[in-house]
Chain A
């Protein structure tokens, strides 16, 4: 099975929110009118309410060298042998990571996943790579 991702450098920028609950719905919703975000510029903590629950969020930047992409399969594959095509339907440079009551810490799963990208550059790099992936990389 082969999966191809079609690039699209002009894909629209998306406002992304990762919510600390599972919403059993896929489809359009009037998010910008009903999900109102108040941001404290000093602390960088965002506040919003969802279903009467107080949420606290932080802005998570997509690490440099990466770009957030919304991959969409417009035509679902009928068999698992079939070649599949995903389109970049939108992109993002940051997203808001929400938590209940208290803002997410660096120990939150998603923050750790973002940090793991940096670690992967060390783990999968070699001393004599033509371009060291990180500045910390000791050059041989």
Chain B
């Protein structure tokens, strides 16, 4: 999300909002936490789509990341209305260099390129904003930068990028040591409180930063910090919590086997239906077996001269 100050008459905006608040059906509405500095002034903000690097704001434009917190089941009461969608969207600052690093790594150019051209990704028109929010000074953290009389050209410098990432790891690990609230999974939380060694915080920090890196970068960062990122085996599809759970414990063979089983289970859930049905069928069989003893005693009863039960209902109909 980039911030754009468009000159818009305050009255018009207020009127517009007033008319919408009285609108009854709150469909197509979202609950969001937004930076006060952004919302608390007249104008507008645009939400843009950027290429995520895994698949400091010093310019005129600031970038924010929009994340949703979805803890099902949840709904909102908004004033005097009900909103079924219980998600909370949270916008937080994102370092544009993460996005730039992702783009430049994928570009893999040995030549110096114009910063605007280098950071422009096809299919993501919003990436044009990137070159305006990364100053040449800030680009130097991850690039070789040359200023050719106004035209800024850049080339990815892996060593600089790695040092920049290392700085982030150090800072984040130092911060995590001061906080008691868990950010990642609950498993991680308890382990942090239990052990809380330097290595744990380092692992945690590397894991969090890797969320913003492409696999090769995160592998290098992990190696540099002596952290094993187990999730690489899983084709980088591990979620945040999975990753931490994996990093945390040295898995015993039994645990590995158990997890493999669980994985297998989740993988095969669509196929699990026949098995379920089989289970149900066997349940019915049990019921049948139980019933047969009763049925047997009923079958023993002498039914000679007894009208079939259907005749009773038929008779009522005839009387009418």
List A residues at the B interface (Cβ < 8 Å).
1-12, 14-32, 35, 62-74, 76, 86-91, 106-127, 129-130, 133, 136-138
Contact = CB atoms under 8 A, between A and B. Distances in A.
B30 A71 contact: yes
A134 B34 CA distance: 17
Given A7-B13, A89-B29, A23 B75 contact: yes
B79 A112 contact: no
Interface stretch (B84-92, B230-238, B250-258): B84-92
B39 A67 contact: yes
B224 interface: no
B20 to A, nearest CB: 5
A63 B37 CA distance: 13
Given A27-B82, A123-B168, A123-B208, A70 B75 contact: no
B43 interface: yes
A8 B13 contact: yes
Contacts of A126: 56, 95, 97, 138, 141, 167
B58 interface: yes
A79 to B, nearest CB: 15
A18 B82 CA distance: 10
Secondary structure of the B contact surface, majority rule: mixed
Contacts of A25: 82, 84
A116 B86 contact: no
Contacts of A123: 95, 168, 172, 208-209, 212
A136 B178 contact: yes
B167 A6 contact: no
Interface in B265-297: none
18 contacts: A11-B17, A18-B75, A21-B74, A22-B86, A25-B84, A26-B82, A67-B36, A67-B39, A70-B31, A88-B39, A109-B69, A116-B92, A117-B92, A119-B176, A122-B172, A123-B208, A126-B141, A126-B167
Interface in B93-131: 93-95, 97-98, 126
Given A65-B37, A89-B29, A22 B141 contact: no
B50 interface: no
A23 B81 CA distance: 11
Contacts of B212: 123
A49 B171 CA distance: 45
Going nearest first, the 6 A-B pairs with the smallest beta carbon separation are A109-B71, A3-B47, A113-B69, A120-B92, A22-B73, A17-B77
Most buried by A among B33, B83, B91, B167: B33
A31 B79 contact: yes
